[in-house]
Chains A and B, each alone.
Chain A
Amino acid sequence: MKYVDEFRDPRLIRQASDEIRRLVDPSRPYRIMEVCGGHTHAIYRFALADLLPPNIELVHGPGCPVCVLPMGRIDEGLSLVDEHEAIFTTFGDVMRVPGRHGSPLERQARGAEIRMVYSPLDALKLARERPDRHVVFFAIGFETTAPSTALTLKRARELDVTNFTVFSNHVTIVPAIRAILDSPDMRLDAFIGPGHVSTVIGARPYAFIARDYRKPVVISGFEPLDLLQSIVMILRQLRDGRAEVENQYGRTVPWDGNLPALRALADVFELRPHFEWRGLGFISQSALKLRAEYASWDAEARFAMAGVSVADPKAAQCGEVLKGVLKPHQCKLFGRECTPEMPVGALMVSSEGACAAYFSYVHRRMAAAEQAT
């Protein structure tokens, strides 16, 4: 298959893996954070750890929108179903995320009208087909999906659809990276920069990481060869004492980003003063809310939502895993109380979550290896 097979070519992958072994200094550890959940998934899915020397540690970052969403937001979104008989629409990623009173999927089985959509435009279409009901779109994602929400809102305004609102949980990636860089337990050497987010925002917003914190950033694609090549680029920077933003994913990511998408974002959204991230706490200017012009389509403005804060289950250590302080299997609940089937924390829900990826692709092999020794 074109654009896939080339990037899984065994010969090229071996070359990249050999190059990494040549570049590493065996006397020191390397801690590289892949910011994006899509990368976390790919790293486990393609078993890249098998191809890396043991002193390169990939630390999983906060770039999984479902994982960083506080539980209270799910509860609030679903409260619209109970209190306003709304039809709740969202992406497949959210369907299994646990709220205090069940996940959207569980609520659907109990009869609530909950629809999985592939695009926010499908939610708007549903609202137009069902003028008797209110349709809310539970919007989630980084800058990757936010432009499609923005365009949907523009369309809703043009068509003057009155029975449609968006409950925005869109977040922005750069403040989260800054929070990690400023955190006292920060021990990272470099970053694998997000791929899909960067197709929208470009490479410029990461400049401060190299300039102010002296850490290399390489924006990467999602195939095994992409990720290995990005690690090669990072190791070269570290070897030469450079700290730069480089773009390995040039076939998709323009340096300046996607200007029409950025314009649509700016037209519809503004930054919230602060927003709660699971594990990282409140981060200022890290999330998007609808501008006042769009208040009629803003679920938070229209339904006076209370902003409930729900603590994560006590024993769950999602926060430590999200910050890269703990590996998934080091959490007390991992694989026991918390499994992909019965997730306690969202990192076990999304296939982009570090815990779910580790559980699905690695856990049993590691457990068997430990038993054997």
Chain B
Amino acid sequence: MTTTIALPRVQAFGDVQVEMAHGAGGKASRRLVEGLIVPALMPETSGEPLNDAASVTVGSEQLAITTDSFVVRPLRFRGGSIGDLAVNGTVNDLAVAGATPLALVCSLIVEAGTPSETLRSEMLAVGEAARRAGVRIVGGDTKVVEHGKADGLYITTTGLGRVDPRARLSPAWVRPGDRILVTGHIGDHGITVLLARGDLDLAADLGSDTRSVYPFAAALVDAVGADLRWMRDPTRGGLATSLNEIARDCGLCFVLEEELVPVRDEVRGACELLGLDPLHIANEGQIVAIVAGASAESALDAIRSVRGGEAAAIVGRVDAAPARTVLAVASYGGTRVVDMLVGDPLPRIC
């Protein structure tokens, strides 16, 4: 017997123009991609869950392919730079698709007037990040645009990986009783970049978490195999957005125990001051994974045994209802809905 899951109805994109919010990774981004881009480019897949990487079968080999563009201001910040992000971001999209990253190609859009020294240091950062992630850069392209047309440098990387046959990742495997795991502190990257822009007179001892998450993904597949149901790297829009996406794709309820979610005091403090929610803040070196309840502890041990995974935690569980919802339960008993981010996080002042 086969059961068919009704795909959610996709609304056509009716907005008059593209706004910054459409690129912020939240609801508006999703509407743009699902309502305009996917129907035009891949009409046969419209309404299906969108993954971090696409899957292509070549002979008997299952490959994962993904691409990502990096626009960040400022180019350098504590703990990393656009060059690090460009490698790690794409490597991470492959990793959470259950793939071993094999090769990257790297395209540059450089603004005229950018100091050569800036470009050189970013290219060294790309090379070093690729070396650390164990992935080769096999080609690329370079374009230069007029001064004022780009924030110094935009980088696009496309990555190819080999899917581990033991990894069976899909929203369709997620079941009530599964557990939610994260690999470490959330929000470090987003708050670091916000502070590095210098508009805010705030300083904190904090750096971006940009890194390859492949070692964690590989450890999870090794440790629990098919009990690993689904993974994502919660970048723009943060943990809240990733969980809302999986909640929508599998129709279940994701319940976070708020005090179990690892958040550094520096990030909490900045969020309290600015009226932001750490669950909405971007990460560049974390995985959120859904693991079968019985294997959750082994999965946690596997992540913690990888260097940099010491702060990993089981942060919640999957329930059947309310459908397609993410909840956060506070230690004192209050339960709130955790929604996707709407647009960019804007600080609250007045």
Contacts and interface: CB of A to CB of B under 8 A. Distances in A.
Contacts of B334: 46-48, 50-51, 224
Nearest to B329: A47
Contacts of B325: 364-365, 368
A95 B346 contact: yes
Contact of A46 (B19, B201, B336): B336
Nearest to B268: A1
A14 B332 contact: yes
Interface string A292-333: 000000000000000000000000000000000000000000
Contact of A122 (B27, B199, B337, B347): B199
Nearest to B339: A360
A4 B28 CA distance: 32
B336 A44 contact: yes
B346 A106 contact: no
A50 B21 CA distance: 33
A4 B337 contact: no
A105 interface: yes
B330 interface: yes
B332 A360 contact: no
Contacts of B336: 44-47, 361-362
B342 A341 contact: yes
Interface in B80-139: none
Contacts of B347: 91-92, 116, 118
Interface in A80-120: 91-96, 105-106, 108-110, 116-119
B19 A106 contact: yes
B275 interface: yes
A297 B28 CA distance: 38
Contacts of A368: 321-323, 325
A350 interface: yes
A84 to B, nearest CB: 23
A141 interface: yes
Interface in B2-21: 17-21
A51 B350 contact: no
A364 B337 contact: yes
> Which among A1, A92, A119 has the highest number of chain B CB atoms within 10 Å?
A92
A119 B350 CA distance: 10
Contacts of B269: 1
Contact of A364 (B17, B21, B322): B322
B19 A109 contact: yes
A93 B346 contact: yes
B333 A117 contact: no
A119 B274 CA distance: 12
Interface residues of A, number: 55
B340 to A, nearest CB: 9
B314 interface: no
> Which among B325, B334, B342, B349 has the highest number of chain A CB atoms within 10 Å?
B349
Given A66-B350, A145-B350, A362-B337, A118 B201 contact: yes
Given A105-B20, A110-B17, A91 B349 contact: yes
A34 interface: no
Nearest to B327: A365
A10 B323 CA distance: 28
B205 interface: no
Nearest to A340: B342
Interface string B161-204: 00000000000000000000000000000000000000111000
A116 B325 CA distance: 32
A182 to B, nearest CB: 26
A35 to B, nearest CB: 15
> Which among A91, A110, A364 has the highest number of chain B CB atoms within 10 Å?
A364
A290 interface: no
Contacts of B199: 116-118, 122
B335 A96 contact: no
Nearest to B321: A368
A352 interface: yes
B141 interface: no
Nearest to B349: A91
Interface of A: 1, 4, 8-10, 13-14, 41, 44-48, 50-51, 65-66, 91-96, 105-106, 108-110, 116-119, 122, 140-142, 144-145, 224, 340-341, 350-352, 359-365, 367-369, 372
Interface of B: 17-21, 27-28, 199-201, 265, 268-269, 272, 275, 321-323, 325, 327, 330-337, 339, 342-343, 346-350
Q: Which 8 residue pairs across A and B have the least CB separation, nearest first?
A: A368-B322, A47-B334, A141-B350, A92-B346, A13-B332, A91-B349, A10-B332, A361-B336
8 contacts: A44-B336, A94-B350, A109-B19, A224-B332, A351-B275, A365-B335, A365-B337, A368-B322
